Amino acid sequence: MEPKTVTHIAGVAIQVGSQLRQLCAWCGKKIIDVDLSTIMSTDGRPYGAFGDGTLVQVFEGDGFSSHTVVKPEVDAEGALRIPDDCCARPWSKQPAKPGPQLEVVR
Ligand SMILES: [Zn+2]
């Protein structure tokens, strides 16, 4: 499997019992799905989720994945732009087209 990245927009994290789950608010991809009872903290901090609306770049390799918080691009007018590899931007292979603005509605 060829490694690739896709940037997702974190939705609200939900914990039921010891299960913590966070999906992409746009496409529904699981960003976090972990049983907290199986996680041991080495620094005493609890396992955290991403803030809702955070851009999370997910790298999926052969049998593993990693997550990186991505800062949104800001254009000359100060508007936030979603990254080219964002799941909410299916036309990302056409970088000449301007993309939509990112707006988190609370
Ligand atoms: Zn997504």
Most distant CA pair in the chain: distance in Å? 47
2: tokens are 């060829």
Rounded mean pLDDT for each run of 10 residues along the chain, 106 residues in total: 81 94 95 90 80 94 89 84 85 53 71
pLDDT reported for residue 46: 74
Please state, in angstroms and rounded to a whole number, the distance separating the CA atoms of residues 72 and 84: 11
**What separation in Å is there between the alpha carbon of 83 and the centre of ligand 1?**
12
**What separation in Å is there between the alpha carbon of 9 and the centre of ligand 1?**
6
**What separation in Å is there between the alpha carbon of 106 and the centre of ligand 1?**
18
Return the CA Rg of the chain.
15
**What separation in Å is there between the alpha carbon of 38 and the centre of ligand 1?**
26
**What separation in Å is there between the alpha carbon of 87 and the centre of ligand 1?**
5
**What separation in Å is there between the alpha carbon of 51 and the centre of ligand 1?**
15
pTM over 0.85: no
Are the C-beta atoms of 87 and 100 separated by less than 8 Å?
Answer: no
Please state, in angstroms and rounded to a whole number, the distance separating the CA atoms of residues 70 and 79: 16
pLDDT reported for residue 96: 46
